Amino acid sequence: MGNRVAVSVPSQILPIEFYLKELSDIHVKASLGNTCFLKVACCLSREGLVVVKVFVNNENHLKLEPYRDLLHRVHDHLDNAAPNCLMYAAVKITDTAGVLLRQHVDKSLHERISTRPFLTHLEKTWLAFQLLCALRQAHQAQVMWPTRPSRRTCYIAPERFRYREGDGRDVSPDGEALEREASPSPNPPLHNLTPAMDVFSAGCVLVELFTEGYAPFDLTQLLAYRKELYHPTRLVDKIHDPHVQTLVLSMLSRDPCQRRGAGDYLEEQRGLAFPDYFYSFLWPYGRQFAGHPKRPPDVTIQQISESLNDILLNLCGEKVAELDKTYMARCGAPPSGQGTRGADAPPGQATRGADAPSYRLHVKYGRGNDQDDESATSDERCEALILVLPFITAAYRSAALCSSKLLGLQTLMRVARFCPDDVILDRLLPTMLVGVESAESSVRACAVDCITHSLALVAAIPEMMSTI
């Protein structure tokens, strides 16, 4: 009746620290919970926070080397060819366990959807675009992802379910996989995965993204969908963008032959669900910050400041770029491209020391103080800038040099002049407030100045922020 124990039960349950004692450079910071097979923890390493997953190999009943070799091959295929894919950085086998390490991500997609400030529709389309890019990159490298069900959702493609011979009941391939994997094998099973299976799973993720976290399938619904007894039409109808609806419905096609490749969807939706500047500027620009080795935050701030006028030109248009040039000239800024480097500093290297940049914010507060500012009050507010802000805010919060912190604040102020009111209140002010608690008095003074400028730019405050 299913009561047979497939593997030996350990005589004692040990904490994750026990299995990491052989890794001297890894220190457990917090447990992230346990699954049926893995112990998961957030750890500190020499390179920062990492996620460590430990598979306990009791009495060495499994040969883990084939799986290690498989993950190494995946890493080799995707390394430098798939900037949107987050791979395991290391796979280690000890006497008692197999250990996986990857970069720590602060929030999962489900957590981010329910966290303030809530994602705008444009941010969701940018995430969807990057997900399809990751899928295209992985498939070009002949890497498929064996999606697993969770307790709450089931995003496995319908064709991965089969009938058990003799009784006609549905069975998940994962249950069969575990049965096969319990015996040592030189080649780990991959269930004959296809790109179409990944496309279906990605379509489920997009539904959850655009419906504020509602999952399109649980296991029962997916089995009914496989038999044409259920369809998530009512949930998909809640997606307001018709182009995204069309994309999702195609990706969720019951027949895998009707699903297209990730690259085909990217081309099909160019200028429809996804703005053209995703392809022509934003993705190529953002890729430089995803490379290895990771650039220091001080260098990142300087590079963004120097290229900000080009960002405004590509995302907001020529008029906004010209307004920024006029503003910077009035502030006494150096010509574009010179930034705040010393005369002898090589390109891309931040200036050392606590010297502030050689220009100051314009002293007039608010929109509409002069002709230039009035032109930027309404027609030139650019929602697309919200996609660049994470690069700036993340680098500013991690900057080490006083000059970089000052330059980061002034860069945020330049962006604020063309941002909608809710973006200023939700995204910019919390970051600027970090500078108020800085140990450097010049940073605190600049932060107060930037906050004053930014608040003066706000024309209307939403009711939920009325106490600001």
pLDDT digits (tens, 9 = 90+) for 355-384: 445 445 544 444 544 444 443 555 668 999
Q: Structural domains in the chain?
A: 16-103 (3.30.200.20), 109-277 (1.10.510.10), 295-465 (no CATH)
User: How many other CB atoms sit within 10 Å of the CB of residue 308?
Assistant: 20
Q: Cα(81)–Cα(291) distance, rounded to whole angstroms?
A: 10
Exposure string (b/e) for 445-466, b if CB count within 10 Å is 16 or more? ebbebbbebbbebbeeeeeeee
> Residue 271's pLDDT is what?
96
8 Å CB contact between 252 and 200: yes
- What single-letter amino acid sits at 463? E
Percent of the chain with pLDDT over 90: 52
Lowest mean pLDDT among 12-21, 137-146, 220-229, 255-264: 12-21
And the tokens for 241? Answer: 């963008």
User: How many other CB atoms sit within 10 Å of the CB of residue 332?
Assistant: 11
Q: How would residue 348 be classed by pLDDT, with cut points 50, 70 and 90?
A: very low
460 pLDDT higher than 80:
yes
8 Å CB contact between 40 and 49: no
Q: How would residue 290 be classed by pLDDT, with cut points 50, 70 and 90?
A: confident
174 pLDDT higher than 50:
no
Q: Where are the beta strands (DSSP E) in 162-302?
A: 162-163, 170-171
Question: What is the crossing angle of helices 195-210 and 242-251, to 10°?
Answer: 140
426 pLDDT higher than 60:
yes
